[in-house]
């Protein structure tokens, strides 16, 4: 109800973005027929909790583009059943595109207008490499839900080696669950580790946030850290390096499971105050002039 009211209030550009999406969703309303070749084991939808963890990132990206979060055009180019559109609408993001179209054909014919790409790509074949190649060439922020092992792949260092300071990570204290839809993944194809309800959590995955130039990843990261310290979510950790992700997860779990980014933010402010105090108290050396 609220979602449809908001949809009515949005402008023309949003209409085009949403209309195309409707075409895709019509084809795939109950049992989607994909308009591209698929591997049955790639069909796994992301759980809502994972999207909660990137809300502060999406809010900061909206601020960067000087638009309200509900107008932020979020594009997920990999389509399973489109459930992610509802998950993001529940979080206040109403301009989300995830439709039944071949991402690779779209790359040839023209990508839709978007402010940010957000996806959980398929892992089979060379999809991960193709997805990352698209992202590194993009001028838009890309938020990717990937297994932690992806960062150790040679193709990852080849693509992002010189841009690794443009990436940071958000990882959940509790592993994310993925759902393999029963109508897309027949019982006979389900791997043994998938539950009867289609849920699976086979490895630690985390969000890789890539901010291309002209974004200033350092400033963005510090703002994000402070925002998350104030308002959460507290069941995930934020880190610049994957090694730190592992260390922070371990430390936070050992402390009882609640992420304490507020402590980090306070530590940072304390350090700044101490540095400032030291600077002020430093005895002036006769004959020298200090510049700020």
Ligand X SMILES: C[S@@+](CC[C@H](N)C(=O)[O-])C[C@H]1O[C@@H](n2cnc3c(N)ncnc32)[C@H](O)[C@@H]1O
- Residues of the shown chain interacting with ligand X in the complex, contacts defined by CB under 6 A: 34, 36, 38, 42-46, 76-80, 84, 102-104, 119-122
Nearer to ligand X, 46 or 252 (CB): 46
164: cis peptide before it, omega within 30°?
A: no
In the complex, the smallest distance separating the C-beta of residue 281 from ligand X, rounded to whole angstroms, is 53
In the complex, the smallest distance separating the C-beta of residue 120 from ligand X, rounded to whole angstroms, is 3
CA distance 266 to 178: 35
In the complex, the smallest distance separating the C-beta of residue 198 from ligand X, rounded to whole angstroms, is 13
In the complex, the smallest distance separating the C-beta of residue 7 from ligand X, rounded to whole angstroms, is 21
In the complex, the smallest distance separating the C-beta of residue 259 from ligand X, rounded to whole angstroms, is 23
Nearer to ligand X, 104 or 247 (CB): 104
CA distance 163 to 259: 27
In the complex, the smallest distance separating the C-beta of residue 83 from ligand X, rounded to whole angstroms, is 6
Residue reference for tokens 């105090």: 277
State whether the Cα torsion 80-82-87-92 is positive or negative: positive
Nearer to ligand X, 98 or 227 (CB): 98
Nearer to ligand X, 179 or 227 (CB): 179
Nearer to ligand X, 181 or 212 (CB): 181
Nearer to ligand X, 122 or 141 (CB): 122
Helical H segments across the chain, by residue range: 2-9, 12-27, 48-52, 55-64, 83-90, 103-109, 127-137, 154-160, 217-231, 242-254, 261-281
**What is the SS3 assignment for 13-71?**
HHHHHHHHHHHHHHHCCCCCCCCCCCCHHHCCEECHHHHHCCHHHHHHHHHHCCCCHHH
């Amino acid at each position: 109800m609220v979602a449809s009211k908001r949809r009515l209030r949005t402008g023309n550009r949003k209409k085009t973005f949403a209309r195309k999406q409707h075409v895709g969703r019509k084809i795939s309303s109950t049992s989607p027929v994909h308009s591209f070749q698929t591997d049955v084991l790639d069909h796994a939808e992301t759980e809502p909790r994972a999207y909660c963890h990137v809300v502060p990132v999406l809010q900061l990206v909206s601020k960067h583009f000087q638009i309200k979060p509900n107008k932020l055009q979020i594009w997920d180019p990999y389509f399973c059943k489109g459930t992610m559109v509802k998950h993001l609408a529940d979080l206040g993001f109403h301009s989300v595109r995830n439709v039944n179209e071949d991402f690779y054909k779209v790359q040839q014919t023209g990508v839709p207008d978007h402010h940010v790409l957000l996806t959980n790509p398929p892992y089979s074949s060379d999809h991960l490499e193709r997805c990352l190649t698209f992202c590194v060439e993009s001028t838009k922020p890309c938020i990717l839900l990937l297994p932690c092992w992806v960062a150790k792949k040679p193709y990852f260092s080849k693509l992002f080696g010189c841009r690794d300071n443009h990436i940071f990570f958000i990882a959940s204290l509790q592993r994310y669950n993925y759902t393999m839809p029963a109508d897309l993944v027949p019982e006979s194809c389900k791997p043994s580790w998938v539950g009867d309800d289609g849920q699976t959590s086979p490895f630690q995955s985390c969000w890789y946030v890539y901010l291309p130039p002209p974004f200033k990843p350092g400033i963005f990261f510090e703002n994000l850290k402070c925002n998350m310290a104030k308002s959460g979510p507290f069941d995930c950790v934020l880190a610049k390096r994957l090694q730190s992700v592992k260390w922070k997860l371990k430390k936070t779990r050992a402390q009882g499971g609640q992420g304490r980014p507020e402590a980090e933010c306070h530590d940072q402010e304390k350090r700044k105050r101490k540095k400032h105090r030291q600077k002020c108290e430093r005895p002036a050396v006769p004959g020298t002039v200090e510049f700020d």
